[in-house]
């Protein structure tokens, strides 16, 4: 995506999405939703369950593009960023009624935490009902082309959430560079296509120490 174009005009992005609402109109509602989720009686369980999710499912191309990634150190911070994403998307949906427009571009590591969060279907459904909001997440509407200074960043800035942590919000060019590095490492041990295939036969076991 051409970042300068994204900054200059938000009326139409690279795949023809139009009529994105003013970031400054969306941001106050996003802040309200974010704060309301954190105030919910279900919040602690939502956070704890989400942070357990990488133990059973994780990708090769999301969290791993973070330099010196460590779930224990990064998990809580990523969860906060994912929660902001859910709030921003819900706010855009309230203004537009269009889930395609509301599926905002998100950096790969944050998006992976969003997947972990939305996997907590029961808890999230209760919070959605409690707050009378609609949380948006649909893979068929995702574009996987987040870049810095685009619409998502502008809503985030308008919400006064502070400086976006670039450890997690990684631009498109740097994302592609890091993926190339990762793929080289993966392929060196027989993992192909970014984790979609491998050459392991599991025909022998690695000896364990006595």
* Structural domain harbouring 112: 21-170
Name which of 150, 147, 86, 142 is nearest 119 in CA terms. 86
C-alpha span between 81 and 85 (Å, rounded): 6
C-alpha span between 51 and 16 (Å, rounded): 35
Mean pLDDT of the chain: 88
With residue 197 as reference, give the H or E element that holds it.
strand 197-198
Tell whether 151 is covered by a domain. yes
Classify the phi-psi angles of 68: left when phi > 0, otherwise alpha if psi is within -120 to 50, otherwise beta: left
Contacts of 158 (CB under 8 A, 6+ apart): 23, 24, 26, 27
Instruction: Give the number of domains in the chain.
Output: 1
Total-model pTM: 0.86
Write out pLDDT tens, residues 46-74. Answer: 999 999 988 878 888 899 999 999 988 99
Mean pLDDT of 7-17: 41
């Amino acid at each position: 995506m051409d970042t300068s174009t994204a900054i200059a005009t938000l009326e139409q992005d690279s795949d023809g999405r139009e009529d994105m609402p003013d970031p400054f109109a969306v941001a106050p509602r996003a802040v309200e939703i974010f704060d309301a989720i954190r105030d919910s009686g279900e919040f602690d369980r939502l956070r704890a369950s989400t942070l357990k999710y990488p133990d059973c499912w994780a990708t090769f191309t999301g969290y791993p593009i973070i330099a010196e990634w460590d779930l224990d150190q990064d998990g809580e911070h990523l969860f906060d960023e994912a929660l902001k994403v859910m709030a921003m998307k819900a706010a855009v949906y309230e203004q537009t009624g269009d889930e395609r427009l509301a599926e905002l571009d998100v950096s790969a590591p944050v998006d992976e935490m969003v997947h972990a969060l939305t996997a907590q279907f029961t808890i999230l459904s209760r919070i959605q009902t409690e707050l009378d909001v609609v949380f948006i997440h649909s893979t068929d509407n995702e574009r996987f082309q987040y870049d810095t200074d685009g619409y998502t960043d502008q809503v985030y800035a308008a919400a006064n959430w502070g400086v976006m942590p670039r450890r997690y919000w990684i631009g498109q060019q740097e994302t592609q560079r890091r993926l190339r590095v990762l793929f080289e490492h993966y392929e060196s041990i027989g993992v192909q296509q970014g984790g979609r295939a491998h050459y392991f036969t599991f025909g022998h076991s690695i000896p364990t120490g006595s």
